[in-house]
Chain A
Amino acid sequence: MTRPGKRCLRPSLSVLEVALFSWLLVLAACGPESTDSHRAGGSDSAAFEAIGTGEPRRGGHLRVGYALEPTSLDAVLGRSGGDAYYWHQIYDQLVDADPDLFPRPSTSLAQSWEISTEPDAITFYLREGVTFHDGTKFNADAVKFNVERILEPKTMATPRAAMTVIESVDVLDEFTVRFNLSRPWGAGLNMLADRGGVMNSPAAVRALGKDYGWNPSGTGPFKIDKVITGTLVHLVRNENYWGTDESGNPLPYVDEVTIRVIRDQTVLSSALRTGEIDIAYLPYKDVSAFQRDDRFQIETMPGGAIALLMAFNLAAPPLDDINLRLAVAHAVDPEILNKAIFFDQVIVADAGMWPIGAWVYDNSLPRPYYDPDKAREYLVAGGRPDGFEFTAVTYNSPIFVPAAEVVRAMLKKVGITMKIDVLSNAAATERFFFGGDYPMYLTGWSRYPEPDWLASLAYKSDGYYNAGNLERPEIDRLVEKGASLYDIEARKEVYNEINRTVLSEAWFTPLLYAVNYAAAPRKVRNLDRLMGWDGKMDLREIWLDP
């Protein structure tokens, strides 16, 4: 019965198949090289021009992959640490910091500064001849405008909390500006190395209003060309950029940069392998595979963040008892977490919340280390020799959820039962730090250039990230002292003093310090200049072999 049908159906189906298949082939034949819509516009190898033998080459199109899209390209309005991967390319800061987190005038918009104490003030002598991307001049008026913009509460600038010590800004002459302070501000210079010191064009901010965030005009090495939200940010060279390399060659080297948003870790690594992108920060799971692959080079930065830590709410039972907190802190073995969750690619934390690489880092201080016997002793001291139960919160990342499971298993060994609530990052942060709903939060922490950022927010009694908000006047005084001192050694002593309390009373127990792994094919040069003080991308000195 179906025989005639067979004859009829076969040809019509195969035509369809052939058509579909040939369509796929035609599209596939266009090749992976031409996948980027921005390749036109002077990015071909012919556009490369050698400056000299062995010298960096100018030209080319650098394509970068990154997991987070920017929340804003206006650095002071952004709500995510990931924004810095974008704004570093667009802006300069009033005071830049070197990788050890010391102020570095040579890359700063202020060439020098003077600190005075009676009255408290910092006077900045600005770099001359710098222009914003919109062609307007960078000068003392621009600095005054930017600081006042941050201080205006309606702007909703995130650095405001750290900068209210500035009472007013005086323009002394076109390139000299004085910050009048309400108290000494030793933390100030490093604070200005972060978002707070970023300089926007006043004319562009005024003209664009709320739309400025996606059409920013800074003084930095690259200018915004095009943004496709959620997909990519395309930047082109700022031909008038003031910065130079050591030999005096103008920066940046590449003509254009595309930062592509690639959220999935596996896809990010495969995009690097297929050549769709030139630079990516590797997920830990892929580090060893790339290390074995000769086509790639890897640059590392130990201490780029805190990969895993336990934050405690000192007011939330049962962990309001210091002995029980210390029992938890001593029962967790970071070595195992490193091997089980981080593919052995991060570093066991041996100091406080200021990770390795910062001037304030000091691993000689006493802190809880893995010691199950001690954990049991603390349980006895806390009156719970048979253990106890509590609920920790973490957020839904592929790292923290399994890490929480491992921590739970470790705690079980000493008799502590930990339940886990998994929320989104924003919800977990909000409910732990402000809701007071959990005694412990298993999370990570960014690296900041200025220790006071953390101290004021997390250690001071009224700090935004102090979950318990317990009154500890002696710590409050130390935090204020640390922020006011101008001498680094004196500041270090104060922060060590704070750390002694924070670590020995288990306010925060860092378990693992992150290592950033940036990978690129061999044609990408100067990869060792990629990561700035915050471990995030800075592309001004990257160049491409043709």
Chain B
Amino acid sequence: MPQYVLRRLLQALPVLLIATFLVFALMLAIPGDPVRALIGPGEALDEEQIQILREENHLDEPVLVQYALWLGKALKGDLGRSTQNQRPVAAELRTRALTTFQFGLAAWILAVLIGVPAGIVSAVYRGKPVDYIATVVSIGGVAIPNFWLGIMAILLFGVTLGWLPTQGYVNIFEDPVQGLRHMILPAFALGITSCALIMRQSRSAMLEVLAQDYMRTARAKGLRERTVVWVHALRNALLPVITVLGLQTGRIFAGAIVIETLFGIPGTGQFMVQAIFARDFKVVQGAVLLMALAVLTANLLTDIVYAWLDPRIKYDG
């Protein structure tokens, strides 16, 4: 296993390099003068200032040189300063990533806590009303865009019922109660699609496993249904669910872009979108690096969990 992890980590390096280089080149390939785009609409710098800005950001060098310069600094942990708000990108990303991670984790936990049991119930009671209800809800969950759901949740729980705050972010470590209250609606809006997908996946995996011969054997040897479903069937059904879970990491990051904007959460997604619009390429680079790292890590963890769940899977050798 350690060898496998090491090999996977080495494989991740070229992926990171390619992803960051592609984004770097694409940001510079956007038509128009990046320096002018940096200045901001409605603002003006004179030629002398524009030239300084160009030189400071090495925009007169070839793309490869610019990338190498960025990479050299990035390896030392220096992602430069945002051209938009002059803050150090690495420090800003660190705080923002923690925020996104909090919400992502909450969404993810919500998705698992609801999705997996609902999928199991739905499979066990296949063809019963509870299955139909769960199916309708999950199809809705997949089909409804999460920003719309977010707005509806704000209107219902924030405006009409007045139960939960609709805006902003409170650090959960500074004020746990307020932090959680602020987290519920965005985590719900963010996690609902994943929840629905996980539910569908759990249901079909569970149905498949429940039809296996060893399930009949388990029941025949007198095991209680609870043990049959939760111990024997669930563990075998979890494999495809884990795959979906791993894939959801990327989805949650993508969803965070919209949800963070809607709920005013200062996370990575929101930061990156604004940076793209402002052509703040150092921020975009840093954010892409971070997201690529997160997705690669999630994939690696997924593979490790596979091996733990299914002893037949061996990675070494």
Contact = CB atoms under 8 A, between A and B. Distances in A.
A30 B174 CA distance: 16
A35 B263 CA distance: 14
B85 interface: yes
Given A164-B46, A270-B166, A154 B52 contact: yes
A263 B166 CA distance: 12
Interface in A48-91: 65, 69-72, 77, 79-81
Interface in B144-179: 151, 154-155, 157-159, 161-170, 174-175, 177-178
B264 to A, nearest CB: 5
B49 A156 contact: yes
A261 interface: yes
Contact of B121 (A13, A214, A262, A464): A13
Interface string A245-289: 000000000000000111110110011011010000000000000
B44 A158 contact: yes
A425 B175 contact: no
Given A30-B177, A30-B178, A267-B166, A161 B226 contact: no
Interface residues of A, number: 72
A430 to B, nearest CB: 4
B181 A30 contact: yes
A20 B114 CA distance: 10
B2 interface: no
Interface stretch (A331-339, A431-439, A490-498): A431-439
Contacts of B262: 263-264, 267
B192 to A, nearest CB: 14
B295 interface: no
A229 B85 contact: yes
Contact of A35 (B49, B165, B266, B278): B165
A267 B32 contact: no
Contact of B84 (A20, A79, A214): A79
Contact of B151 (A158, A228, A267): A267
A5 interface: yes
Most chain B C-beta atoms within 10 Å of own C-beta, residue among A24, A30, A35: A35
A433 B163 CA distance: 48
A345 B49 CA distance: 40
Given A5-B226, A210-B81, A434 B32 contact: yes
Contacts of A364: none
A156 B46 CA distance: 9
A385 B279 CA distance: 42
Contacts of A228: 169, 266
Contacts of A316: none
B162 A158 contact: no
B289 interface: no
A6 interface: yes
A2 interface: yes
Given A24-B184, A37-B175, A267-B154, A230 B277 contact: no
A260 B125 contact: no
Interface string B232-248: 00000000000000000
B154 A270 contact: yes
B37 A153 contact: no
B265 A214 contact: no
Nearest to A35: B165
Interface string B4-43: 0000000000000000000000000011110011111111
Give the interface size class of chain B: 35 or more
B253 interface: no
Most chain A C-beta atoms within 10 Å of own C-beta, residue among B46, B164, B166: B166
Contacts of B125: 2, 6
B177 to A, nearest CB: 6
A465 B264 contact: no
B279 A427 contact: yes
Interface string B266-280: 110011001011110
A210 B86 contact: yes
Contacts of B278: 79, 426
A231 interface: yes
A263 B168 contact: no
Contact of B178 (A37, A81, A231, A267): A37
A32 B181 CA distance: 10
Given A4-B225, A156-B52, A71 B40 contact: yes
A199 B86 CA distance: 20
B264 A263 contact: yes
A232 interface: yes
A243 to B, nearest CB: 28
Contacts of B200: none
A149 to B, nearest CB: 13
A8 B226 contact: yes
Interface in A1-55: 1-2, 4-6, 8-9, 13, 16, 20, 24, 27-28, 30-32, 34-35, 37
Given A264-B261, A267-B166, A276-B167, A465 B32 contact: no
Contact of A28 (B92, B163, B219): B163
Nearest to B118: A13
A180 interface: no
Given A229-B92, A230-B266, 14 more contacts: A5-B225, A27-B164, A210-B86, A229-B95, A229-B266, A231-B266, A263-B262, A267-B166, A270-B159, A426-B278, A427-B32, A428-B41, A429-B42, A430-B37
Interface of B: 30-33, 36-46, 48-49, 52-53, 81, 84-87, 92, 95-96, 113, 117, 120-121, 124-125, 151, 154-155, 157-159, 161-170, 174-175, 177-178, 180-182, 184, 219, 224-226, 228-229, 261-267, 270-271, 274, 276-279
